[in-house]
Amino acid sequence: MIKGLLSSGLITLSENIIDNFRHLVQTYGFIPNGIRTYYLNRSQPPLYSEMVSFVWEATQDVSILSKHLPAILLEHAYWTSPPKQVVAVGPGVQRFNVSRYYARWQQPRPESYIEDVETAQKAGLPTDPPDADTQQLYRDLASGAESGWDYSTRWFANNMNLTTIRTTKVLPADLNGFLLQMEQNIADFAGTLGCTALQQQYQQLADNRRDALNTLFWSNEDSQWHDLICTPAGVDGNLGGLPEEQAVSDGIVTRVCNVQRNTGAFASNWVPLWAGAVPAGSPQALAAVQALNDSGLLGVGGVAMSLTETGQQWDWPNVWPPNDWIIIDAFKRFGGAAGDALAREIAQRFLSTVYATYLETGRMYEKFNVEQIGIPGGGGEYEVVDGFGWTNGASLDLMQRFGFSPTY
């Protein structure tokens, strides 16, 4: 949405939005999943620093950086503290600090109370009163909502079944890409402001997370960054095999995980490329571009979220504008000539389906169908909605950058 506003010359409005987010971080330590009190148990995905970067790039007003940097540091601390941060054990017993989605909540979500209770009942779990397994299910459902991908087979132990959701056991490639981006932004902002020690500190954190992404998450077999599944390896400190909920309740202990990759193809697998996990034009970046071509995710309407049709809205056959925009931008900036060409192709497919759907219905939908031009997306807990800020924003920015030549 910020990119669309900037494309429209609405710089002051963009500044107002990031100022609102600064206020939220200063007040709560993070940006809640929605601006309602019952969302104070979980965050939005951490894109605040990149929004500040966009506005700074448009204005070149250094006061924006000095005003927002303290709040960005607060948000970084939120995402890099237990229980969100864990230690992942890699090859050769290497240890990396990585993060996950983890809501501080173990009840049905107030906004989807009936749906969560029904999910627990379908899982055969007691709901009145709930037991520990039911409470964990509710936490994983809320954590899936925190991710933005509510819901997708990314989070399921059984690819077709929401009742097997295990979000808190997943170390997401996209989240750790966003945090790499935040750490690199902090280093760059600090450098611009002349804060040398802070710049060096966060450049090291960015380098460490980049190393984690390319050691643990990257797969040479299919040239993608995959989510990791966390299996218990104990806890740091002297608490032995204490259960996770007890171990992290006071924030003192960090969970340690052995990991294995979720080998599925998801649109989120390319977020680390967008975040700068590898240099522009590098063999790894070029391989990632080709990997999307080979993945089966690309259709006439853009890039689908997954290859599995589960009835969930963040799976096949849905195209979501923010994710397509990220992939397009990543390929344009990092993917060399082949990436530039594919970015332009995906942009035209996406714009074509948005335009055709608008001509047919007069509505700007939040999601679309990858298999047919001009068809809104579906699935999930509610009927497809219109509005819609991120569709408008992605479309305006892409038209400004690439023009529009319908593909139908």
CB 353 within 8 A of CB 361: no
Structure tokens belonging to residue 41: 């148990």
- Could you list the mean pLDDT of each consecutive 10-residue stretch along the chain, which spans 408 residues? 96 98 98 96 98 98 98 98 94 90 97 97 97 98 98 93 97 98 98 98 98 97 97 54 43 79 97 98 98 97 97 98 98 98 97 96 96 95 91 97 86
Question: Of the residues 15, 188, 366, 397, which is catalytic?
Answer: 366
Helix (H, G, I), strand (E, B) or coil at 94: coil
Strands (E), 70-193: 85-89, 95-99, 170-171
Question: Of the residues 116, 150, 227, 315, which is catalytic?
Answer: 150
- The yes-or-no answer on residue 150 being catalytic is yes
Q: What share of the chain is helix, strand, coil (3-state, %, to 5)?
A: 55, 10, 35
Distance CA 303, CA 95 (A): 34
Distance CA 269, CA 224 (A): 6
At residue 234, the pLDDT reads: 59
Torsion angle (degrees, nearest 10) of CA 24, 27, 33, 34: -70
Sign of CA dihedral 134, 135, 136, 140: positive
Q: In this predicted model, what pLDDT tens digit does every residue of 330-361 receive, in sequence order?
A: 999 999 999 999 999 999 999 999 999 999 99
At residue 248, the pLDDT reads: 44
Phi, then psi, of 253 in degrees rounded to 5: -100, 140
Helix (H, G, I), strand (E, B) or coil at 226: coil
3-class DSSP string for 344-408: HHHHHHHHHHHHHHHHHHCCCECCEECCCCCCECCCCCCCCCECCHHHHHHHHHHHHHHCCCCCC
- The yes-or-no answer on residue 15 being catalytic is no
CB 323 within 8 A of CB 303: yes
Structure tokens belonging to residue 31: 């940006």
Half-sphere exposure of 348 (CA within 13 A, CB side): 12
Order of strands, edge to edge, in the sheet holding 95-99? Answer: 95-99, 85-89, 255-261, 228-235, 170-171
